Amino acid sequence: MFVPMSLFDRPSVATATSRVWEVGALCRAIADSLEARFNPVSVRGEITGFSRAGSGHCYFSIKDVAGQLRCAMFRRAASALDFLPRDGELVEVRGKLGVYEQRGELQLIVDSLQRAGQGALFEQFLRVKALLEADGLFDAARKRRLPVMPRGIGLVTSAGAAALHDVVTALRRRVPHIPVLLVPSLVQGAEAPASISRALQQLYGLAQRQGEPGVPPIDVILLVRGGGSMEDLWAFNDERVARTIVQSPVPVISGVGHETDFTIADFCADLRAPTPTAAAELVAQPRQVWLEGLALVQQRLQDAVLRHIDRQGQRLDAATQRLGRPSQHMAQQRLRLSQLGQRMRYGMLMKVQRQAQSYQALEADFSQKTQGQLQRHRQRLEQLGLRLELLNPQRVLERGYSVLTTPSGQVVSRVGQAPVGAALKALLADGSLDVTVTQPKLL
Task: Output DSSP code: residue 145.
Answer: P
pLDDT (tens digit per residue) in 209-236: 988 888 899 999 999 999 877 788 899 9
The whole-chain average pLDDT of the chain stands at 84
Say whether both 270 and 139 belong to one domain.
Answer: yes
299 shares a domain with 430: no
Is residue 411 included in any domain, yes or no? yes
Listed in sequence order, the residues at least 6 apart from 269 whose beta carbon sits closer than 8 Å to its beta carbon are 143, 223, 245, 252, 253, 254
Same structural domain, 91 and 219: no
* Across 265-286, average pLDDT: 91
- Domain-embedded: residue 200: yes
- Is 362 part of any domain? no
User: Is residue 35 a part of any domain in this protein?
Assistant: yes
pLDDT band for 385, please (50, 70, 90 cuts).
confident
Nearest in space to 430 (alpha carbons), one of 401, 408, 392: 401
Could you read off the pLDDT of 298-349 as tens digits, one per residue? 889 988 898 888 888 888 878 777 666 666 767 778 888 888 888 888 888 8
Is 338 a member of any domain?
no
Claim to verify: residue 130 and residue 267 sit in the same structural domain: yes
Q: Is the peptide bond before 40 cis (omega within 30 degrees of 0)?
A: yes
Amino acid letter at 361?
A: A
Look up the CATH number of the domain holding residue 257.
3.40.50.261
Pair 62, 82 in one domain: yes
Q: 209 with 109, same domain?
A: no
Give this prediction's pTM: 0.48
Does residue 353 sit within a domain?
A: no
pLDDT, position 334:
84
Q: Is the pLDDT higher at 289 or at 54?
A: 54
Most confidently predicted of 145-154, 340-349, 389-398, 432-441: 145-154
Domain check: are 64 and 140 in the same one? no
Inside any domain, residue 382: no
Determine how many CB atoms are found less than 10 A away from the CB of residue 106. 14
Write the CA distances from 56 to 25, 78, 84, integer angstroms: 30, 7, 13
Look up the domain containing 298 and give its range: 287-317
Whether 117 has a pLDDT exceeding 70, the answer reads no
- Is 359 inside any structural domain? no
Based on the structure, what is the number of domains in the chain? 4
- For residue 261, count other CB atoms closer than 10 A to its CB: 21
Least Cα distance to 144 among 255, 239, 220, 242 occurs for 220
